[in-house]
Amino acid sequence: MKIICVGRNYTDHISELKNERPEEPVLFQKPDTSILLKKQPFFIPDFSNDIHYEVEVLVKIRKIGKHIQEKFAHKYYDEVGLGIDFTARDLQNKLKEKGLPWEKSKAFDGAAVISDKWLSKKDLPAMDDLKFRLEKNDEIVQSSTTAHMLWKIDELIAYISSYFTLKIGDIIFTGTPAGVGKVGTNDQLAGYLEEQQMFSIKVK
């Protein structure tokens, strides 16, 4: 399986990082080795002093497809989840300055938190208004809805599949809203989608 991530998909997050609003979605991938194993804490890697959380709605692909038209994109997924795109922001800034790929700052071991739980589309309201939030030590640090996405889920599936064939089990990280921030040792991070707790992880 592969993990495809979308960057700069919420206007408020684009401005907090002083990035330009993109003309097309920004895409990158994480390898399967970046998935944080179930029930394991997240260990801050020694190559960074500024690891940020980014809470994101996840989409699990259920059927193989390429060049998927937006109007058929809804047939390619049944379930949504929640995750964290951990980012070594200090390293990412250095790479960005040099115009180099972001991989080292985004694809390291443990950098992809994927909820154990997945919610079925049929039990949820419209995909374009899913409410989600991240709590750090019981305080809300990020809170948004998919209504604020620049590119909606179906548009993303169409766009992504024009570059990469989507396969069963692939997961799309759909981008983060404002409020990203640094994690420290002993932080507890809990993610909620439509009021259901999707994950809870400890930082070490």
* Chain residues that interact with Zn ion, rule: CB under 5 A: 54, 85, 176
Closest approach, Cβ 75 to Zn ion, in A, equals 26
* Shortest distance (Å) from residue 175 CB to Zn ion: 6
Residue facing Zn ion at closest CB distance: 85
Between 65 and 132, name the residue whose CB sits nearer to Zn ion.
Answer: 132
Give the integer Cα–Cα distance in Å for 189 and 193.
Answer: 14
What count of other Cβ atoms lies within 10 Å of the Cβ of residue 156? 23
- Closest to Zn ion by CB, 65 or 177: 177
Q: Which is nearer to Zn ion, 12 or 75 (CB)?
A: 12
For the bound state, the minimum distance from the C-beta of residue 32 to Zn ion, rounded and expressed in Å, comes to 17
Contact (CB, 8 A) for 181 and 53: yes
Nearer to Zn ion, 60 or 65 (CB): 60
To the nearest whole angstrom, how small is the minimum distance from the Cβ of residue 34 to Zn ion?
A: 12
The answer to whether the CB of 156 falls within 8 A of the CB of 25 is yes
Instruction: Tell how far CA 202 is from the center of its chain.
Output: 18
Q: What are phi and psi of 75, to 5 degrees?
A: -75, -10
DSSP string, 142-178: EEEEGGGBSS-HHHHHHHHTTTS-B-TT-EEE----S
* CA–CA distance, 96 with 20 (Å, rounded to integer): 13
Q: Cβ of residue 56: shortest distance to Zn ion, in angstroms?
A: 6
CB of 186 to Zn ion, least distance (A): 23
If the CB atoms of residues 65 and 144 are measured against Zn ion, the closer one turns out to be 144
Which residue do the tokens 């992809």 mark?
112
Cβ proximity to Zn ion: between 6 and 44 the closer is 6
HEC secondary structure over 56-73: EEEEEECCCECCCCHHHH
